[in-house]
Amino acid sequence: MIKTGEWSPSCSQFKAQKDSEMTNIKEIRILQIFAARLVLEVFGGGGAIWGFSESLTLRNPESQEFWRFWAQVIASLFAIRFILQIVDFCFDTDRNAKNVIRLIQV
């Protein structure tokens, strides 16, 4: 006599397997969406300040550190915005998440 519990996975095992597959799909999706945004928005924001100061001939050897500081400040602001976008994406894709109201929008 064959016992069904020996050869067939239980519902909890099946659900755990599907949950792990969905987690992997979600992680891949986040990587796909936000990899390009990291380069274009975060690094591009800091690079835009750096390059714009060069094209206007505002940046020279004496003022290079000044412009480097401000390019890093702008890149940091865009990095904070980038992190908030990832958090929003995670809340939007999670059906069990509660509605969150952010007091600060960057």
Q: Say how far apart CA 42 and CA 1 lie, in whole Å.
A: 64
Cα 64–66–68 angle (5° rounding)? 65
Q: What is the pLDDT of residue 49?
A: 92
pLDDT reported for residue 71: 93
State residue 78's pLDDT score. 93
Residue corresponding to tokens 């020996």: 6
8 A C-beta contact, residue 47 and residue 70: no
Per-residue pLDDT of the chain (106 residues; tens, 9 = 90+): 455 555 555 655 555 565 666 667 777 877 888 888 889 888 999 999 999 999 998 989 999 999 999 999 999 999 999 998 888 887 777 666 566 666 666 5
Closest C-alpha to 85, from 16, 48, 35: 35
Q: What is the pLDDT of residue 29?
A: 79
